[in-house]
A and B are shown apart, each in its own frame.
Chain A
Amino acid sequence: MYFFAIDLTQTTIDGLLFGSTYALVAIGFTLIWGLLRILNLAHGVTVMVGMFAGMLSATIIGLPFYLGILISMCAGALVGFLIDRICYRPLRAAHELVPMIATLGFWILIEEVFIKIYSKFWFRDYVPFANPFDGAGLEIGQIRLRGDYLVTLAVATLLVIILYFLIYRTRLGLAMRMIAEDHDIGSLMGVPVGRVLTTAFLLSAAYGGAAGYLLGMTANLAGPYAGSQAVVKGLFSMILGGAGSIPGAIVGGLSLGVLELQSSFLFSFAYRDAIAMLALFLVLIVRPQGLVGKRTADRI
């Protein structure tokens, strides 16, 4: 019983640490949802591109961690720029489902093209991703905190603090909060709405790129389907926490991390996703707005 309690605690802590990557992905979804009311289904592409940029910089070139993550964020942001220019800008006057379908097309197109290129270079499903923190860790009593998980949590925390600073302490943030309420409010106050939305796409995609690096590093692997997986995990986290809410994305991501590891530990790895979906289902019956989402106000 004693060891079971230790293992349970260990699993919960690992889940929280690892869940911070899901929170980062969910933040990307929630920012765009909060500002535009569209599901940016192409968001997974930023994660995948961030992961492979990270794999190239960490494994092939051998750059240090902090440089690698910056490169991944830039690579992600580049994808975000394309999503804005291709999927959103030309279609912004159309019904809100239209840009969403465009992001779906972008996702499928880029992923398929990438898989074609990938299979020319590598003949397996995954390529190794160098993990400089492999084996490192912190022992607290019987609990062990994995080094790479701690680094992941630290990066995610730093990025969340930067995001909060941007939203609540800068002019850009003031503009975003106006636009999240109503695009016309922004225009009437003199906000160049299109430019602010481009910035939001860059920001959310940079966070997706960082998440890609961290997901690759902690798994020691980079795979071409990482984007699709990230879409599922990120959307799940956002909806569990409350769509459009940043605290919701964080709570949702951490909860999903714990849920996944606990269901693998308590039941079976095979039922991991099924149990997580069941939990989401039950939460949404009780709280349709998500764990911390509000019904109307506070969209970002």
Chain B
Amino acid sequence: MLDVENLTVSYGAISAVRNVSITVRAGEVVTLIGANGAGKTSIVKALSGIVPKASGTTKFRDADISTLPAHEITRRGLIHVPEGRKLVPSMTVEENLLCGAYCRSDKQEIAADLDAVMMRFPRLRERRRQIAGTMSGGERQMLAIGRGLMARPELLILDEPSLGLAPLLVEEVFNIIAGLKREGKTILLIEQNALEALYSSDRAYVLRVGEVVMSGLSSQLAEDPELRRAYLGVN
């Protein structure tokens, strides 16, 4: 579904990502793990088109999207739920969800999806008229994921969904991801919480200062002694 070849992302003279190649197949949950500054966020920002790619090609559903502007990439179903949620705090919960459906014009289907998202996250239904800026971190993350789902993603990119949440809520976020996986959604998950990310994904890429240093099945990587010591901080 997604084929990234030799992606390089630079900010001025500094390259944050060098020659990274990643593949995501339909129905898979793939995770990018690595320490802070490893280039995970830069990769997905480049994929969704909000930072420029210095080089490399991106194929999405058999079409080259390397040079498309961000809004065109979104329209093709590559939906990026960004780090830090990026909600509109002055809008209500419902308005934020409708932002996700901005590209769609099928009113009845949008209403049905709105209902489905609120079914999935009952908290959002309770708070549909509440201003998003007044919600807790966990609720905001649910709203951000719900907004992503409103776009009917072909591929859902979740960038650090558990960042800044209390342990109980981190658990809940990974439950949500497990639920999406059961439904057969294709997901690219970016996480600092590497062990949890490995447990909830099929395959993984391990990044270190802008390069892929390991990749493979998540279940095997989770058992890899070197990885556990070097990147997961567990023995």
Residues of A at the B interface (CB closer than 8 Å) are: 171, 174-175, 177-178, 181-182, 184-193, 296-299
Chain A to chain B contacts (Cβ below 8 Å), 22 pairs: A177-B88, A177-B91, A177-B95, A178-B88, A178-B99, A178-B102, A182-B86, A184-B70, A185-B86, A185-B87, A187-B48, A187-B69, A187-B74, A188-B48, A188-B79, A189-B71, A189-B103, A190-B74, A190-B102, A190-B151, A192-B69, A297-B90
Please judge, given known A-B contacts A174-B102, A189-B100, whether A181 and B88 are in contact too, CB under 8 Å. yes
Which residue of the partner chain, among A171, A188, A190, A298, contacts B82 with CB atoms under 8 Å?
A188
Q: Bound state CA distance, A177 and B90, in angstroms? A: 9
Which residue of the partner chain, among A171, A174, A184, A299, contacts B50 with CB atoms under 8 Å?
A184
Q: Chain B residues near A177: list those with CB within 8 A.
A: 88, 90-91, 95
Q: Chain A residues near B50: list those with CB within 8 A.
A: 184, 187-188
Residue of A nearest to B157 (CB): A188
Q: Bound state CA distance, A193 and B69, in angstroms? A: 10
Please judge, given known A-B contacts A175-B102, A297-B133, whether A188 and B89 are in contact too, CB under 8 Å. no
Decide if A187 touches B71 in the complex (CB within 8 Å): yes
Residue of B nearest to A184 (CB): B50
Decide if A174 touches B86 in the complex (CB within 8 Å): no
Q: In chain B, residues 98-127, which have Cβ atoms closer than 8 Å to a Cβ of chain A?
A: 98-100, 102-103
Q: Bound state CA distance, A82 and B21, in angstroms? A: 43
B18 part of interface (Cβ distance < 8 Å): no
B80 part of interface (Cβ distance < 8 Å): yes
Q: Chain B residues near A192: list those with CB within 8 A.
A: 69, 71
Q: Chain A residues near B82: list those with CB within 8 A.
A: 184, 188
Q: Chain B residues near A188: list those with CB within 8 A.
A: 48, 50, 70, 74, 79-80, 82, 86
Q: Chain B residues near A189: list those with CB within 8 A.
A: 71, 74, 99-100, 102-103, 147, 151
Q: Chain B residues near A193: list those with CB within 8 A.
A: 71
Q: Bound state CA distance, A188 and B51, in angstroms? A: 12
B39 part of interface (Cβ distance < 8 Å): no
Min CB–CB distance A266 → chain B (angstroms): 39
Decide if A191 touches B88 in the complex (CB within 8 Å): no
Q: In chain B, residues 56-88, which have Cβ atoms closer than 8 Å to a Cβ of chain A?
A: 69-71, 74-75, 79-80, 82, 86-88
Q: Chain A residues near B147: list those with CB within 8 A.
A: 189
Please judge, given known A-B contacts A174-B95, A174-B99, A190-B74, whether A185 and B151 are in contact too, CB under 8 Å. no
Residue of A nearest to B85 (CB): A185
Residues of B at the A interface (CB closer than 8 Å) are: 48-50, 69-71, 74-75, 79-80, 82, 86-91, 95, 98-100, 102-103, 133, 147, 151
Q: Which of B48, B75, B95, B99 has the most CB atoms of chain A within a 10 A radius of its CB?
A: B99
Q: Bound state CA distance, A193 and B102, in angstroms? A: 13
Q: Chain B residues near A298: list those with CB within 8 A.
A: 90
Decide if A185 touches B99 in the complex (CB within 8 Å): yes
Min CB–CB distance A75 → chain B (angstroms): 31
Which residue of the partner chain, among A175, A178, A187, contacts B49 with CB atoms under 8 Å?
A187
Residue of B nearest to A187 (CB): B70
Q: Chain B residues near A182: list those with CB within 8 A.
A: 86
Which 8 interchain pairs have the tightest Cβ spacing?
A187-B70, A190-B103, A190-B74, A297-B90, A181-B88, A189-B102, A190-B71, A298-B90
Q: Chain A residues near B95: list those with CB within 8 A.
A: 174, 177
Decide if B98 touches A190 in the complex (CB within 8 Å): no
Q: Bound state CA distance, A182 and B50, in angstroms? A: 12
Decide if A184 touches B90 in the complex (CB within 8 Å): no
Residue of B nearest to A297 (CB): B90
Min CB–CB distance B75 → chain A (angstroms): 5
Residue of A nearest to B74 (CB): A190
